[in-house]
Chains A and B, each alone.
Chain A
Amino acid sequence: MPLALSPEDFETCRKLIRERSGIWLGDSKVSFLQIRIGERLKARNITTPRDYYRFIKYDPAGEEELQKLVDAVTINETWFFRELPPLQAWCQLVAPEILKRSGRLRAWSAGCSSGEEPYTLAMLLLASFPTATLQMEITATDISQRALEVARAGIYDAYSLRHTEAQWLKHFTPQTTPSANGATPHARQTINGEVRKLVQFGWANLFDTTLAGRIGQVDVVICRNVLIYFDDQSRRVVLNNFHTALRPEGYLILGSSDTLAHTTSLFDLIRLGEAMVYRKAI
């Protein structure tokens, strides 16, 4: 039988996760959390959820374990060239003006997961502004250390590239050695240096009220299919961070499953080309 989480255990564990990350696991996530905690208990050789909670709270390795638990509950579902129209619209209609006006451009990929999104933006920017590489910077952050390790390694399997058109493959080099899990050579691709140079990865908790100060000023925030994992209260903190980090008239690009309806008046929904995006309200 799978590990049984009592209602009290579920409550305690989801609060721990929320305190650490802002991610709120709703009531429908009991079985989801049960499986992930079961795996962590096994990895730590701990028998009960209560002992696991005590381990996180009082053991010297508790902080590290809490990060592992957050890693286990984050959903790193992404791929290259996902939901492209808003990114294309911003690159074509907004970025040229920013580069012309200020001579530099900075984007924040917030909740970048394993890196496909910021690398996609980097490829789009390189295609539009091939000589401006020193003027463009993408800061990419995520709460999951596991996802960031993949992002920094920049090695992807065919599944991540399933929506990548042939014209973009010039930015990848096929892997020539078999991977640790036995995947065949050439099934995996490494992202090339010129794309990599545009992206800096870092760990960040979007729920941290001081985060915007550390990120600094950006022209666009891309945060897609991340807000759905926060409750209203956490979402407000996250959106405040975005608002603070954005320069005047900066853009916020959300995912198709995200909406700001009734959450905040910090952003206006506007049409940009064929896409709907948010702009920092004045």
Chain B
Amino acid sequence: MVEFALKSRGYTVIAATDGQEALEHLERGGQFNLVILDINMPRLDGLSFLQTVRANPAWMAIPILMLTTEGQDADKERALALGATDYMLKPFKPTELLTHVSKILGQA
């Protein structure tokens, strides 16, 4: 849904199946205006990904939007403490996601 909503608005989206794959995209020098991240991911979870990315000066300023579900309240707080730019609680409507993304990208 995330990929579809963003593409329908004209964004270029690179989808990764887990945190490790997302990290590999960054390591290969990919330039991203925004990373949208689920906390629950196989191999490398969202919080570990966040920690790794924020420890690298080259990636420190990349906006990261965390997606969390109800019951992960403490994780959400931890994500913000680790340097997430913002978070969204699932489930959400595509329009809510697009509004959030526009705000982070300074387009709102």
Decide whether A and B assemble into one complex.
yes
Which residues of A line the B interface, CB within 8 A? 1-3, 5, 26-32, 34-35, 38-39, 75, 77, 79, 82, 162, 225, 228-229, 256-257
Complex Cα spacing A242 to B82, Å: 26
Are B63 and A31 closer than 8 Å at their CB atoms? yes
Asked if A1 contacts B105 (CB within 8 A), the reply is: yes
* Contact between A257 and B73, CB atoms less than 8 A apart: no
The answer to the question of B84 belonging to the interface, with a C-beta cut-off of 8 Å to chain A, is: yes
Closest partner residue, chain B, to A27 (CB atom): B60
Q: When A1-B106, A32-B85 are in contact, do A162 and B70 touch as well, CB less than 8 Å?
A: yes
**A29 near B83 (CB under 8 angstroms)?**
yes
B81 contacts A by Cβ under 8 Å:
yes
Contact assessment for A228 and B63 in the assembled complex, using a CB-CB cutoff below 8 Å: no
Q: Give the distance in Å from the alpha carbon of A26 to the alpha carbon of B76 in the complex.
A: 17
Of chain A, the residue at the smallest CB distance from B77 is: A77
**How many Å from the CB of A269 to the closest CB on chain B?**
20
Cβ distance A74 to chain B, nearest Cβ, rounded Å: 11
B85 in contact with A257 (CB, 8 Å): no
A-B contact count (CB 8 A): 63
A75 in contact with B77 (CB, 8 Å):
yes
A79 B73 Cβ-Cβ under 8 A: yes
The answer to whether B83 touches A26 (Cβ under 8 A) is yes
Q: Which chain A residues border B83 with CB–CB below 8 Å?
A: 26, 28-32
Which B residues have a C-beta under 8 Å from some C-beta of A?
33, 54-55, 57, 60-64, 70, 73-74, 76-78, 80-86, 103-106
Q: Give every chain B residue within 8 A of A27 (Cβ-Cβ).
A: 54, 57, 60
Judge whether B74 and A257 touch: CB under 8 Å.
yes
Residues of A within 8 A of B57 (CB): 27
Q: Which residues of B contact A82 (CB under 8 A)?
A: 73
CA distance A32 to B86 in the complex (A): 7
Query: A31 contacts B64, CB within 8 Å?
Result: yes
A175 CA / B77 CA spacing, docked (Å): 29
Evaluate whether A2 and B77 lie within 8 angstroms (CB atoms) in the complex, with A28-B54, A28-B83 already known: no
B58 to chain A, nearest CB (A): 12
A225 to B80, CA, bound (A): 12
How close is A230's CB to chain B, nearest CB, in angstroms? Answer: 11
CA distance A26 to B57 in the complex (A): 12
Cβ of A26 to closest chain B Cβ, rounded Å? 7
- Whether A1 contacts B73 by the Cβ 8 Å rule is no
Contact of A1 among B33, B54, B70, B77 (CB under 8 A): B33
Contact of A35 among B33, B55, B103 (CB under 8 A): B103
A259 to B52, CA, bound (A): 22
Q: Which of B60, B73, B104 contacts A2 (CB 8 A)?
A: B104
Q: Nearest Cβ in chain B — how far from A127, in angstroms?
A: 24
**Min CB–CB distance A25 → chain B (angstroms):** 9
- Other than the given A35-B104, A77-B80, 15 more pairs (CB < 8 A) read A5-B61, A28-B83, A30-B61, A30-B83, A31-B64, A31-B85, A32-B85, A35-B85, A75-B80, A75-B81, A77-B73, A77-B76, A229-B81, A257-B77, A257-B78
